[in-house]
Amino acid sequence: MSPAQLPKTGPNPGAEIRGGHTGHLRRANLERIQAFVMDHPRPFTRAELIEATGFSAPTVGSLVAQLIRRGLVRDLGAGPSRGGRRPSFMEFNARYGFVAAIAIGVDNTQVAVADLRGARLAHRVITTPRDLHPKALLSRLAAVLRRLARDTRIPREKLLVVGVGTPGLVDRHSGTVVALAPGLKEWLNVPVARILEDRLGVPVLVENDVNLAVLGEHWQGAARGHDTCAWINVGTGIGAGVLIDGKLHRGHHLMAGEIAFMCMAPHYAGQDFGDHGCLETLAGLEALVGRWPRGRPGSPDRWVAELYDAARAGDPEARAAVEEVATLVGIAAANLSLVIDPSLVVVGGTVPTPDSPFMDRVQRTVAGILPAPTAVIVSALGEEAPLWGGLLMATTHARHELRPRLPEGAAR
């Protein structure tokens, strides 16, 4: 992984600020030093810090000493000599605190803990207890996270924030799932953040799982370097996460990327296309089952693999099922591409797999529609994409909250 890819935690390093109120200026200079420390992926010397910030040696020495006393910076001692005085090395103490993420899925839920660089320390996958009432389900997940943190020897007071990904429409300001999450019992107007904060005693951030997937893929997966990209999930539900110029695009009604509701033909426009003609109804996992009835028994991962094997072997029902669903997903991917013009579309979820006849058909459909080619590839992170997005969200928030605070009374 690349810790340097985390979003910057403070102002860009620049010239030392002088003049004005002493307390405010010291804090501004300390923020710049701290931003460099957190964003630097390797040990560094005071000389490197002086060169990067433009601050004077006494200022750097004083501010670094403060960060060392606080525990945010570790003094590693003197390094090897290069012909003169041996340089003293330091590094960001990424275990000053810890973060966690919970990615709630219809079938499985993933839980992980990480340090402040986003390095994952432990990971657990459990079957989602989706028959439980939301409050009981979230209480169960909180217990799993507490146990994972305890097993990883993370003190309770060191867990700083938890990022949660969930299906459904999310009001991220209140941390509430405001619209039904497909496949989860009574998952409507659920105050996810409040319930988990009561159970865990730490701040909880909540985001739609597909939005987190595009963030995770951009940070750790196939979309690295693609600041305008999309992530399309094809599974029990269908949805898209959209990144534009490196920023998550949610839309005015928080509906950006809700391609599940996309109307796929004119004759559906006058009907209740949510039940008949929307993309999710025509191309979701249930639609695939309907087109190939042998797919019902067992886990989706297993029967989807059997479906692809049958399609490759020439089974006409299997080939027709794959081609019909993949064509619809390809049309949706092409339409989305024509609106946002991404450099990459990543397809993930239960249905897409590398080198599958499904992905081949999706790619050929998109290429046949778009006037300018957009690469369409399968996710590198797979079902872990939302989890990585949750860790990124939590880590970014935790590092932001570690910014220096003015001492009480300094502003007066």
Please state, in angstroms and rounded to a whole number, the distance separating the CA atoms of residues 148 and 154: 9
Provide the residue type at 154 as one letter: I
Please report which helix (H) or strand (E) contains residue 102, including its range: strand 98-104
Cβ atoms 108, 128 nearer than 8 A? yes
Please give the backbone phi and psi of residue 201, each rounded to the nearest 5 degrees, phi first.
75, 20
- Concatenated DSSP letters for 269-295? TTS-TTTTTBHHHHHSHHHHHHHSGGG
| CATH topology assigned to domain 98-212+387-399 | Nucleotidyltransferase; domain 5 (3.30.420)
Cβ atoms 137, 130 nearer than 8 A? yes
The string of pLDDT tens digits covering residues 114-147 is: 999 999 999 999 999 988 999 999 999 999 999 9
Q: Whose CA is closest to 200, among 139, 273, 135, 279?
A: 139
> What's the DSSP call for residue 268?
G
Please state, in angstroms and rounded to a whole number, the distance separating the CA atoms of residues 312 and 49: 58
pLDDT for 179 equals 81
Low-confidence ranges of the chain (pLDDT < 50): 1-4, 10-20, 273, 406-412
Q: Which two tokens stand for residue 238?
A: 């269908």
The reply to whether 98-212+387-399 shares the fold of 3-93 is no
Q: Length of the chain in residues, anyone?
A: 412
pLDDT for 327 equals 95
**Domain boundary assignment for the chain:** 3-93, 98-212+387-399, 222-380
Please report which helix (H) or strand (E) contains residue 198, including its range: helix 192-200
pLDDT for 342 equals 97
Provide the residue type at 382 as one letter: G
Coil, strand or helix at 215: helix
Cβ contacts of residue 395 below 8 Å, gap of 6+? 6, 99, 114, 116, 117, 118
pLDDT for 269 equals 65
CATH 3.30.2350.10 fits 222-380, yes or no: no
pLDDT for 361 equals 95
CATH 3.40.47.10 fits 3-93, yes or no: no
Cβ atoms 145, 100 nearer than 8 A? yes
pLDDT for 410 equals 36
If you count DSSP H runs as helices and E runs as strands, how many of each does the chain have, helices first? 12, 15
Q: How many CB atoms lie within 10 A of CB 140?
A: 15
